[in-house]
Amino acid sequence: MTFRQMNAKWFEPLAQWTMIAGLIFLCQPWVEVLHRYGLTIIILGLIGFLVTSHIPPEPEAAEEEEEELI
């Protein structure tokens, strides 16, 4: 598995779920530690998403496209 495939399958969704978790932590009133660091978790997820979303997907082989057309 290449880094680009791992990025598309694991890293980008992980960054998205980190942002969602940070939002949930920020809005919940029960655990003060989670509420205190909720914004920090959102920002870390945002930075991770910005980095992973700028990694282009793996290019597809041109030979496969030519075979499908024939």
CB-based contacts of 22: which residues, under 8 Å, 6+ apart? 38, 39, 40, 41, 42, 43, 44, 45
**Residue 25 near residue 35, CB atoms below 8 Å:** yes
Coil, strand or helix at 19? helix
**What's residue 1's pLDDT?**
86
pLDDT at 5 over 80: yes
**Residue 22 near residue 42, CB atoms below 8 Å:** yes
Q: How confident is the model at residue 58 (pLDDT cuts 50, 70, 90)?
A: confident
Please tell me which residue, 58 or 36, carries the higher pLDDT value.
36
pTM of the model: 0.78
pLDDT, tens only, 32-56:
999 999 999 999 999 999 999 999 8
Distance CA 15, CA 8 (A): 11
